[in-house]
Amino acid sequence: MIPFNIPAVVGKEAYYLNELINDRVKFSGDGIFTQKCSALIESLYGAKKVLLTTSCTHALEMAAILIDIQPGDEVIMPSYTFVSTANAFVLRGAKIIFVDIRPDTMNIDEMKIEEAITTRTKAIVPVHYAGVSCEMDIIMQIANKYNLMVVEDAAQGVNSYYKGKALGTIGHLGCYSFHETKNYNCGEGGALLINDERFIERAEIIREKGTNRSKFFRGQVDKYGWVDIGSSYLPSELNAAYLYGQLENAELINQNRLSSWQYYYEKLQALADEGYINLPVVPEICRHNAHMFYIKVRDLVERTELIEYLKIMEIGAVFHYIPLHSSIAGQNYSVFHGEDIVTTQESDVLLRLPMYYNLTKSDIMVVVDAIKSFYKNENRGVHIERNYISGW
Ligand SMILES: *Cc1c(COP(=O)(O)O)cnc(C)c1O
């Protein structure tokens, strides 16, 4: 059995958890391990300020509060994303404006953003799918031109780069996920990256239930109280201790995943050359983190059959997002600007293969051989060539 995901354990996690349990000084949030994690993320990726959160969902919610989203404001994002990207802003009363994605990276099509901007537009939320960066230079240019905020959903993009800059550090705010399905995890967890210093003070308050408790602990005020809206967005030290063991070994995990990604790519190349499948595209200016290995097949029917076939062979391959504009809530809270040319078509044919830390080469070969046997034995005929528009 080769599952789709196994959460990473690299060795030091239990040691730090034990240390914490033995010390019994502080289990709640913002202790030593939270500080260590934030400092490490700041120094590794060059963020001005990092606040650990209970999830990426909560980091996105904090971002929506920080950029002061008001009822009726519009927020531009791709429809091909996780529900939290939209929900965080809908909770503040925003209307979500979806624009189409690019077929090569599955990221928001930067050339379609400008035409979706109105006087109500407040923010752009690029989602770095599979840890491959959106075209951030153009997105930041548009944001500057119209005075918009940029919140990066970098849930999948921890330790990925765009032109040498770490994802999550380019927009005004960035959001990371440490959910067990992500590259570095603590079960459930996340981080808010604050790149625009104006947001630091208020972010600390929002994260601490709307109180200035952080300032109090630093001795900057002599009592603390309720000063703003907020919630409980700080994770327990137990989560942070586990996470520190992962972040300390980020490069170990990264290299291991990248070599699996590369192996898949090489071994599936022949099938792609013969026109059966398409392989993922990583633009030259992006350094990705092998968050995901996906293939694209001919159509929805073929994908359903392939998932079923792999399931019989005990291989966990899964499809991904159902575009949000076609969901029940999406119909209430969003509109799709322009035509959906790529989003639905490409999401229908994308299939994610098993990918996790310490996935073995022999297991990858089992997956590759299963895919090959699916196409070769069934004699399924060759794909129609899809011509990717290469904008970069
Ligand atoms: C995983 C994910 C999230 C949510 O992360 P949580 O930490 O589980 O809240 C948000 N956006 C994207 C693109 C994701 O992949």
Same domain, 221 and 316: no
Same domain, 68 and 89: yes
pLDDT tens digits for range 231-290: 999 999 999 999 999 999 999 999 999 999 999 999 999 999 999 999 999 999 999 999
Q: Which two tokens stand for residue 183?
A: 């590259």
Half-sphere exposure of 202 (CA within 13 A, CB side): 14
Q: Whose C-alpha lies nearest to ligand 1, atom 2?
A: 155
Residue (of 17, 13, 11, 15) closest to 236 by Cα position: 17
Same domain, 296 and 259: yes
Q: For residues 139-167, give the mean pLDDT.
A: 98
The pLDDT of residue 48 is above 50: yes
Indicate the length of the chain as a whole number: 392
| Residue appearing with tokens 């990426």 | 56
Specify if 2 maps to a domain.
Answer: no
Atom of ligand 1 nearest to the CA of 55: 7
**In terms of DSSP bridges, do strands 74-78 and 173-177 run parallel, antiparallel, or are they unpaired?**
unpaired
Interval between CA 177 and ligand 1 midpoint (Å)? 6
**CB contact at 8 A, 152 and 191:** no
Residue 265 is part of which domain span?
A: 250-376
pLDDT tens digits for range 336-381: 999 999 999 999 999 999 999 999 999 999 999 999 999 987 556 5
Residue (of 184, 153, 183) closest to 170 by Cα position: 153
pLDDT tens digits for range 52-92: 999 999 999 999 999 999 999 999 999 999 999 999 999 99
Domain limit, last residue, from 218, 247, 276: 247
Atom of ligand 1 nearest to the CA of 129: 13
Same domain, 53 and 176: yes
pLDDT tens digits for range 95-132: 999 999 999 999 999 999 999 999 999 999 999 999 99
Domain limit, last residue, from 230, 247, 264: 247
Same domain, 74 and 164: yes
Atom of ligand 1 nearest to the CA of 58: 9
pLDDT of 11 reads 87
- Distance, in Å, from the CA atom of 58 to the CA atom of 380, rounded to the nearest integer, reads 45
- Distance, in Å, from the CA atom of 154 to the CA atom of 292, rounded to the nearest integer, reads 14
Q: For residues 189-205, give the mean pLDDT.
A: 98
Domain limit, last residue, from 228, 247, 266: 247
Lowest mean pLDDT among 181-185, 296-300, 322-326, 383-387: 383-387
Number of domains in the chain: 2
Specify if 25 maps to a domain.
Answer: yes
Q: Output the ligand 1 site: residues, CB below 6 A.
A: 55-57, 81-82, 84-85, 127, 153, 155-156, 177, 179, 190
Distances (CA, A) of 48 to 40, 155, 196, 358: 12, 18, 8, 32
**CB contact at 8 A, 310 and 370:** yes
Alpha carbon distance, N-terminus to C-terminus of the chain:
40
Same domain, 185 and 233: yes
